[in-house]
Structure 1
Amino acid sequence: MEPITVGIVAGLIQLAVASCTFSNEWSKSNNRCLKHRLEDVCLAEPVPGINAPKINIWAGISAEENLAVWELLHDPATGLNLTYPDNATITDNYVFWIDALPMNKSAVLVYIDGDNPPPPKYARVIIFEGGREDPRSQEYMVGPLPVSSGTTVKPLDYIYNGGMGGSVPFNARTFDDVREKAVEPLITSVMSSIAHMTSNLFQGGMYYGKEDNRTTIMATYTDPVSFDGEQAFLNIMFRFPTNPFMTPLDFFLLIDWTGTDPSTYFVKGFVTKERFFSTVEELMLAFEAGELKQEFDQTRDGSWTLLDRKTEMGTRELDEKFSGTLLELGGKRYKLDKKQRYVEYMGWSFYIAHSRSLGLMFFDIKFKGERVLYELSLQEALAQYGGNQPLAASSAFHDSHYSLGASLGTLLEGYDCPFGSTLLNLTYHEGNHTIINPDSLCIFETDIGFPLSRHRSGDKESRWGFTNLGVVKGNALITRAVATVDNYDYMFDYIFHVDGSLEISVRASGYLQSSPYYKTQKKWGPRIQQGTQGSLHSHILTWKADFDIVDSANSFEISKLVVAKQSQPWFPELGVFEQIEVETSFLKKEDRLNYEPNHQAMYCVVNREKKNAWGENRGYRIVPGRSNIHLPIFNSPFSHRNSEFAKQHLAVTRQHDNEPLANSVQNTNLPWKPQQDFSKFFDDESLDQEDLVVWMNMGMHHFTRSEDVPVTLYSEAYASMVLAPHNFFDRAQDGDLMNRRWVVVDQESEKLDFEDYGVELPQCKIRIEEPALELNPILNV
């Protein structure tokens, strides 16, 4: 299963350099030819292996370690009084999830940079403790691993600063299946009592419970479900199940479900037609008076929401031909230690790790043997909505809460990633089982679509128009994964350019969280279908970049482009005139920053004690790319204090082992009293030649449109950022690259000569196979 390195097949591509012909052997599958001649075929080369210099200590816990932790937790001698989740009720104690605890950097460096043994590994475990007198959600650290007589189970407090440690009030705990079962009887009771009304208003839409065959609509929920853990509420919207994200109904049920006793849960009210009704009686009176008739019926046919081809849209000329594609014709130029997830490519080296909550993480990132970053990792994907309806107005999602890493799923070779990509599995743990998501990480080299550098110069009188022409091929290595978090598909690319630049990009596709359409609510989004409004929202994604420019002693340099008035003696006739110049300073203390207007500032992490040949501080620059935004709303009750990490473009702090994460996976339900308060990271510590962490935001303000149907397009919903060398070297890092052409004109004969530096153009046939025939199922082991 892992990895798939050869394309999995559907036809032949013909190259100008060598045509590829069909053999006489045919097999039929989906009316496609699947068997072809194999000699001299490109793409058959597997990724070369390599031995990592150290073990990947950032890797997640293994299946064996997870099972051992599970058994230790359920051992009566441990004293946690646990019930198996399948049998648990809201008043039981049970394990929610198990993941790896972030490694302390201080312990890691003495291992990877020295001869110390690997530091011990710990698991982090969330246990819902509904059986306590004061019910809560409690996070524990379990280790060292593997489990032995020395392994302990202790509250995980030290990485949180909100004053409650690893403990979260029960009302703010995750809305899981067990908690849903506790509130479902109330929802069923009230909705079944008004089923004749909802059926009349919503084309036969009725709710008698999730498992009842009479049910024709479904309930959908949002976050947060609490403000500070003192109370719990649910804002429920109903939808048709054909595609619940795109077929919303104008009917909302508001519930208070505070505590662990379902008999105390109650209905706060109903919303429809932009009106609030506090009781069933009030609602029914309005219905019987004919006041609730819907102006725009929702479609029950969900075919328009599917991502199949729509024949009614016609056919584009030449679209029957296989489209242009990317292939590694010369073979793979990167190496991989599959076990340790260690990669080397064109001077780059790095380790890949994966966590259940955050997804992909990169560690010990070096270029040409020198460390640039200790860690680069996504910290949160936040989405906050706006609207004049209970669900849209109150939606502020933290996607780590939904386990971003567990949401990384199968990639379709040739479509999600190029044919010939290296495909790797990703694993996470569910209870005492390990889930293997097959082919959910791909690695490939790409032609970036433009030269890295080029110049044409010389004699314009030459019939060639130049004396010499130099072009350096632009290439990069991409590691890619796609997280489908319910409705949205986030594509994450980490792009390692051959010049030493590292680009981060994220794209969003998938379904909108839509709302029922009203003519009066245009300020929150346009009408995109018969009864559907595209809800206005912002996506903010936060990254952690722990820079180590050569070593851990770094500073944060800000260079502002300013307009100055000056005179120059060689231009006496101009007098005083405006001129641009640079003002350079260093950020003295921890702070949060926004980009200067017109991007008239440059931000660098530099090592003031390490100079290049020209006496300049060696560093890396943070280059804003596309859509580098921050959260536009600062004082919403639904994201007031638990989303501080998203409210600026950049933030710079000192690295501390007790500040490994910008957010908590349980923070989403604590906007007024967060478990992790990012604002507390800033306590006036000096940044002068210290170990620095930069927290970077980018994302999309999603001004929804009809073209978001059926799904949002990656071509438009896109954000990026580049970390680029800035005086880190003595010159641009293109001089040693062999994939280039140097063309010169002979001065006497005027003939062209060129140098290929030994890199010959490949001459080979191409075989690619149908990827849909080779997809692998998720494994539960």
Structure 2
Amino acid sequence: MRSSLAYILAAVTLTIARPGETSARAPKTNPWAQITPADTAAVWDLLHSPAAGLNLTDPPFTASQTDNYVAFIDTLHTNKSAVLPYIDGNGLQPAKFARAVIFEGGRTVPISQEYMIGPLPVSNRTRIQKLDYIFNGGKGGTVPFNARFFDLQRDAASEPLLASVMTEVADITTELFGGVYYGADDDRTDLIYTFDTPVSTDGSSAVRIVMFRYPTEVEFLQPLDFYVILDIPGTDPSKYTLRGIVTNEKFFSTVDKFRQAYDAGEITNPYPQPRDYEWAQLTRKEEMGTRPLENKLAPQSIELGGKRYKIDTQQNYVEYLGWSFYMSWTRQLGLMFFDVKFKGERIIYELSMQEATAQYAGNTPKAASTVYHDTHYGFGAQSAVLVEGFDCPFGATLLNASYPDGRHTTIKPQAICIFEADYGFPLARHRTSSFGPFQGYGFSDLGVVKASALHVRHIATVGNYDYLFDFAFNVDGSLEVGVRASGYLQASPYYKTQGRFGPRVHNSTQGSYHDHVVTFKADFDVLGTKNSFQVTELKTVKQSQPWFPELGEFDQMELQASNLKREKQLNFAENGQAMYTVISERTNAWGEKRGYRITPGHSNIHLTSPNSPFSRKQSEFSKSHLAVTRVHDTEPYANSWQNINLPEAPQHDFAKFFNDESVEDEDITVWFNLGMHHFTRSEDIPVTLFTEASSSILFAPQNFFDRAQEGDLQNRRWIETGEDQDELNFEAYGVPLANCAINLREPVTNILPWEDLIV
């Protein structure tokens, strides 16, 4: 039964996990669809064929860092210039391509190299070519060995040196922490370790900063005050050396110097880390007591009237109350949206998450130097199973996602949910003023309109954090993008002297302050590809008016609108005194240029430290609220997934997008950042809460229509007072209140296994 189920799931990439949803029919075959499982297997076989000449080790897990092997295969999205003639006209459907990352450790000068393989499906027309055109760092898809992803093979190469150092000090670590590390495969080992990124600055060398922890479910909250720093350049482990040991806020360049300090009584452990970890688990804590009535099921959002959206599951296409869009999925970026339209008119060509940057602060080796780019680990590959009724409402449409995994395809069950939800407030409401005989008695007419939105949501668990991505398509034509973070802090050992980097959150644990900056791409096509970026500023000016001669000149507000002339990174105005709008030259009935404005929501931030040596050039996209660039097929992504280890010599340099090109009446992309400055606190234990760690932005019509998009909604009420003062007349517009019996059920776990499926 499981194999037949896997075969069914392999037929499409996003599949509804529950029956009963209404089907739609996409107007065109999805040109952004990810490659199929059959294509993945065929690409894998082609790369490993003798004719390819790549000399690959298969399977990769048997390889060493001096071998050539495939790191992963993913979808290479079709260029916009090839898609538009097809999606908007009668052009041919563009060919599909895969991308493959190959770690070529067997070269004289070892590298990582990206390739493009296509057209697909594999035939005698299919070619393997270097994927260089989407990278602007000067070396195309090539990454130096020292800067490449630190995988199991590189880990194994540096393991002997780390084990040797830790074995030499095993008696000291036993006394300090009650633990030892003799190597990952040694049964006596009862400590684990983590290390930071970046491990290199420009690819010429590599440094590994190792921090030790207890091997528990909550290791991120149990850091030990012990760091080993290794220099590990190149592929020859005989050249790897110890740079030093750090503990007690002191650096020791050799094991002997460290031991001398310990023997002299200079090394202590004043705040021992407890090995128990129940305090840090996300479980109910009996010692906290019980809240009255909390044994009852919490309120739920239910689609009482049935589903008001339609899905074409073969094409991953959705329709909802005027909205339509296609979806896609990649290993590195996760969920992406294309051809987003409202009432048949395109607003956005592409909306996608591009990167999630996290930068830490501290006076310990790991905290001080850590910068993460989480696409480095893969948002699509790290997606999480959604729990019905908790991650998403009961009755939500649950979708599976898939990504290439070696020669096979891994299915992520219930990775995406779609649901319509009440917004908790009316879309519009007004009670008209009373006139005539009832003036002053409160009798009047009242109109109120229901607010709801279609949500598309997924969660990715990358290391210690769960990122919740929520895209809300509102009935008024606005679109809200939100991101929330929950999970374990990457904590540091507690020091009395380091409160400026974060508070003490447990006996020997300090919450390390850090930034989360999540970068998105919005390729706006407001009524076509010719758009401008208008900035409307609210200015205070001196004015005089002849009907107020006694005032002379006085302060007055006025709007000053101008279009951005050239590509630029910019920040939101202080006090919110500016409006940012992507406009078309086409006008509405009143002669106003039609557009969509970009409204900051909660916690729109950028990186605090723009000149850190660990994020100097490879994180430029995270250093402003907004950026506006001209669209080019050569600039599809803000970042390269391997960029994190190249802060001084990025493979892909976002700063080079800004080459003084015009963005007036051009095809433009707006890159925007959401996130939070994470001022850590005791309430981050056991995990950070979604309520506070949140950020959002809203795209809303700005003269796009001739009037508000509420007049055609039937979910509303009009209430009039009758001739009798006590009489009220209701107009329901054909939408009565629902009478229903609700049977909430537990998730049906025998339909889909909760672990990943591989087909």
Q: Same fold per TM (> 0.5)?
A: yes
1:458 Cα deviation from its structure 2 partner = 2.8
Distance 2:483 2:469 in 1: 5
Matched-pair contact (CA < 8 Å) for 2:17–2:414? no
**One-letter code of the match for 2:196?**
T
Aligned to 1:201: 176
Q: 1:80 aligns with which of 54, 58, 61?
A: 54
- 3-state secondary structure, aligned to 2:581: strand
Distance 1:450 1:319 in 2: 25
Distance 2:442 2:43 in 1: 71
Aligned to 2:32: 58
1:776 Cα deviation from its structure 2 partner = 2.7
- 3-state secondary structure, aligned to 2:744: strand
Aligned to 1:17: none
Distance 2:24 2:327 in 1: 14
Distance 1:207 1:302 in 2: 20
1:761 Cα deviation from its structure 2 partner = 1.3
- 3-state secondary structure, aligned to 2:325: strand
1:683 Cα deviation from its structure 2 partner = 0.8
Distance 1:523 1:761 in 2: 56
**One-letter code of the match for 2:410?**
I
Greater relative contact order, per chain length (Cα 8 Å cut-off, separation 6+): 1
Moved more, 58-67 or 461-470: 461-470
Aligned to 1:210: 184
Aligned to 1:695: 671
Q: 1:761 aligns with which of 737, 745, 749?
A: 737
**One-letter code of the match for 2:45?**
E
2:142 maps to 1:167: yes
Aligned to 2:463: 486
Aligned to 2:554: 577
1:179 Cα deviation from its structure 2 partner = 1.1
Aligned to 2:315: 340
Aligned to 1:780: 758
Aligned to 1:98: 73
Aligned to 1:551: 528
**One-letter code of the match for 2:34?**
G
- 3-state secondary structure, aligned to 2:82: helix
- 3-state secondary structure, aligned to 2:41: helix
Aligned to 1:686: 662
Instruction: Please report the TM-score for the alignment, with normalisation by the length of structure 2.
Output: 0.96
1:773 Cα deviation from its structure 2 partner = 4.6
State the Cα deviation string for residues 538-563 of structure 1 (Å, max 9, x = none): 00011110000110011110100000
Aligned to 1:630: 606
The residue correspondences of 1:579-618 to structure 2 (distance < 5 A) are 579-608=556-585, 610-618=586-594
- 3-state secondary structure, aligned to 2:220: coil
1:751 Cα deviation from its structure 2 partner = 1.1
2:262 maps to 1:284: no
Q: 2:482 aligns with which of 505, 512, 515?
A: 505
Distance 2:167 2:404 in 1: 37
2:508 maps to 1:527: no
- 3-state secondary structure, aligned to 2:565: coil
Distance 2:298 2:570 in 1: 44
Aligned to 1:233: 207
**Identity over aligned residues, as a percent?**
58
State the Cα deviation string for residues 19-52 of structure 1 (Å, max 9, x = none): xxxxxxxxxxxxxxxxxxxxxxxxxx82100111
Matched-pair contact (CA < 8 Å) for 1:385–1:538? yes
Aligned to 2:694: 718
State the Cα deviation string for residues 635-656 of structure 1 (Å, max 9, x = none): 1110000000111111101100
Distance 2:17 2:691 in 1: 27
State the Cα deviation string for residues 167-222 of structure 1 (Å, max 9, x = none): 000000001111111111111111112111101001x1111111222111101011
2:421 maps to 1:446: yes
- 3-state secondary structure, aligned to 1:258: coil
Aligned to 1:675: 651
Distance 1:669 1:587 in 2: 33
- 3-state secondary structure, aligned to 2:219: coil
Q: 1:5 to 1:231 in 2, by over 3 A?
A: closer
The residue correspondences of 1:307-326 to structure 2 (distance < 5 A) are 307-326=282-301
Distance 1:440 1:212 in 2: 37
Aligned to 2:432: 457
State the Cα deviation string for residues 47-66 of structure 1 (Å, max 9, x = none): 10011111111111111000
1:573 Cα deviation from its structure 2 partner = 2.2
1:244 Cα deviation from its structure 2 partner = 1.2
Q: 2:619 aligns with which of 643, 648, 663?
A: 643
Aligned to 2:12: none
State the Cα deviation string for residues 338-396 of structure 1 (Å, max 9, x = none): 11110000100000111111111100000000000000011100000000000001100
2:346 maps to 1:371: yes
Unaligned runs of 5+ in 1: 7-44
Aligned to 2:193: 219
Distance 1:433 1:245 in 2: 32
Q: 1:276 to 1:772 in 2, by over 3 A?
A: farther
Aligned to 1:176: 151
Aligned to 2:104: 129
Instruction: Please report the TM-score for the alignment, with normalisation by the length of structure 1.
Output: 0.94
State the Cα deviation string for residues 133-192 of structure 1 (Å, max 9, x = none): 010000001111110011111111000100010000000000111111111111111111
Distance 2:141 2:672 in 1: 26
Aligned to 2:714: 738
Distance 2:29 2:281 in 1: 44
Matched-pair contact (CA < 8 Å) for 2:17–2:399? no
**One-letter code of the match for 2:581?**
C
Distance 1:651 1:507 in 2: 22
Residue-pair matches, total: 741
1:572 Cα deviation from its structure 2 partner = 1.9
Q: 1:311 to 1:773 in 2, by over 3 A?
A: farther
**One-letter code of the match for 2:316?**
R
Distance 2:626 2:754 in 1: 40
State the Cα deviation string for residues 733-768 of structure 1 (Å, max 9, x = none): 001000011101113565110111111111111111
Unaligned runs of 5+ in 2: 10-14
Aligned to 1:12: none
Distance 1:360 1:491 in 2: 12
Distance 1:436 1:511 in 2: 26
1:621 Cα deviation from its structure 2 partner = 0.1
Aligned to 2:22: 48
The residue correspondences of 1:342-491 to structure 2 (distance < 5 A) are 342-459=317-434, 461=438, 465-491=442-468
Matched-pair contact (CA < 8 Å) for 2:119–2:127? yes
Distance 1:291 1:426 in 2: 54
1:102 Cα deviation from its structure 2 partner = 2.0
Q: 2:227 aligns with which of 252, 258, 272?
A: 252
Matched-pair contact (CA < 8 Å) for 2:329–2:401? yes
1:575 Cα deviation from its structure 2 partner = 1.9
2:270 maps to 1:295: yes
Q: 1:657 aligns with which of 615, 627, 633?
A: 633
Distance 2:127 2:525 in 1: 33
- 3-state secondary structure, aligned to 1:70: helix
1:771 Cα deviation from its structure 2 partner = 2.4
2:492 maps to 1:515: yes
State the Cα deviation string for residues 664-720 of structure 1 (Å, max 9, x = none): 001000000000000100111111210010110121000000000000000000000
- 3-state secondary structure, aligned to 1:349: strand
Matched-pair contact (CA < 8 Å) for 1:5–1:47? no
Distance 2:230 2:344 in 1: 58
Matched-pair contact (CA < 8 Å) for 1:456–1:466? no
What value does the CA root-mean-square deviation take over the aligned residues? Answer: 1.3
2:133 maps to 1:155: no
- 3-state secondary structure, aligned to 1:111: helix
